[in-house]
Amino acid sequence: MSPIVRVVAVICLGCAPTLRSQSGPPASPSFESGVLPVRWTDPNPDCAQAPVFRVHEYNPTLFILRQSGCTHFEKPFLYLLLGTKEALLVDTGARGADISKTVDELVRRKSVHEVNPLPLLVVHSHGHGDHTAGDTALRGRAATRVIAAQPQAIMEFFGLKDWPAEIAQYDLGNRIVDILPIPGHEPASVAIYDRRTGILLTGDTLYPGRLYVRDRRAFVESINRLVDFTRTRGVAHLLGAHIENTRTPYLDYPEGTKFQPEEHVLELGRAHLLELQEALRQMGDHLERRSFRDFTVWPIVP
């Protein structure tokens, strides 16, 4: 794509979901492409040799990091997005691993032509411990801001005044991300939409696994907001924070499983979001545990 066309695409992403020609239907959104792996596990895992975090380069400015099951059974996914002014790390992992060294290496590698590495902004998909355990190490890192996984802290940093209805925009430098509060799984849950790649990060709210719902009303309203948000924006991939399902439809791995040789792919799509919305609508005021092809609705009873 020529530089002129790319500039037009970025501008239009801020105001409309597609580019329109002078005649005919809307054109497809123009996103930076990337590659996802077929699998996230090694055929023969060796904890003595396995890295603490598996790093996958989706493209030169977006990295997906998966914590090893050898360190913690939750095996969360973390995301590192690079702008021209700042890097954004989404989540810091579970106990048993230090993400700071991996982030240092990646940021230095991508800042090789700069006098100083990119400063780092750390936010969280939500406040559970398997997504915030690395905060302490990163708070001591130079040129790093760690935003606490609490609604008030998120509101203050991004300038939100109406939680959870308002959506914030944040510019990492030639890379705008949208921050959408989506409580229901956890009070500080947010989704992050990367306009450059069309990737929607949904944390533990939607992923191929067990969708734990602690606040039915907040969860339903959050899914409705995500559906409305994506109605006018293209979604290349919907990426969550875990994989718990197997490649066999309707079947998940038991909680505590460290090695999942036949796990589901990470990526979902907007169709899964619509499927979840419809399932919640049908259940009404009384959610029940119900398995679907690629995820399970799992209400938590207080």
**Cβ-based burial of 200 (10 A; exposed 0-12, middle 13-18, buried ≥19):** buried
Predicted confidence at residue 26, as pLDDT, reads 46
Question: What tokens were used for 57?
Answer: 């380069």
Beta bridge partners of 59: 62
C-beta contacts of 113-120 below 8 A and 24+ residues apart: 116/143, 117/143, 118/82, 118/83, 118/85, 118/86, 118/87, 118/143, 119/85, 119/86, 119/87, 119/143, 119/144, 119/145, 120/86, 120/87, 120/88, 120/89, 120/144, 120/145
**What is the spatial distance between Cα 175 and Cα 31, in angstroms, rounded to a whole number?**
12
**What is the spatial distance between Cα 89 and Cα 107, in angstroms, rounded to a whole number?**
11
List CB contacts of 125: < 8 A, sequence separation 6 or more: 90, 91, 131, 189, 190, 191, 192, 201, 202, 203, 204, 205, 241
CA dihedral 157, 163, 166, 168 (to 10 degrees): 20
Dump the DSSP string for 236-301: SEEEES---BBSSTT-BPPTT----TTBPPS-B-HHHHHHHHHHHHHHTTS---EE-SS-EEEEPP
Question: What tokens were used for 108?
Answer: 């230095």
**What is the spatial distance between Cα 22 and Cα 25, in angstroms, rounded to a whole number?**
9
Peptide bond into 164 cis (omega under 30): yes
Question: What tokens were used for 197?
Answer: 């790649």
List CB contacts of 53: < 8 A, sequence separation 6 or more: 65, 66, 67, 68, 78, 93, 97, 99, 102
Question: What tokens were used for 51?
Answer: 């890295």
Predicted confidence at residue 248, as pLDDT, reads 98
Q: Which amino acid is present at 277?
A: Q
The answer to whether 92 and 138 have CB atoms below 8 angstroms apart is yes
Q: Are strands 62-67 and 77-82 parallel, antiparallel or unpaired?
A: antiparallel
Predicted confidence at residue 19, as pLDDT, reads 34
Question: What tokens were used for 75?
Answer: 């095996």
Question: What tokens were used for 254?
Answer: 């038991």
The answer to whether 102 and 87 have CB atoms below 8 angstroms apart is no
163 DSSP assignment:
T
Q: Per-residue pLDDT for the chain (302 aa), expressed as one digit of tens each?
A: 433 333 333 333 333 333 333 344 445 678 999 999 999 988 777 898 889 999 999 999 999 999 999 999 999 999 999 999 999 999 999 999 999 999 999 998 876 556 678 999 999 999 999 999 999 999 999 999 999 999 999 999 999 999 999 999 999 999 999 999 999 999 999 999 999 999 999 999 999 999 999 999 999 999 999 999 999 999 999 999 999 999 999 999 999 999 999 999 999 999 999 999 999 999 999 999 999 999 999 999 87
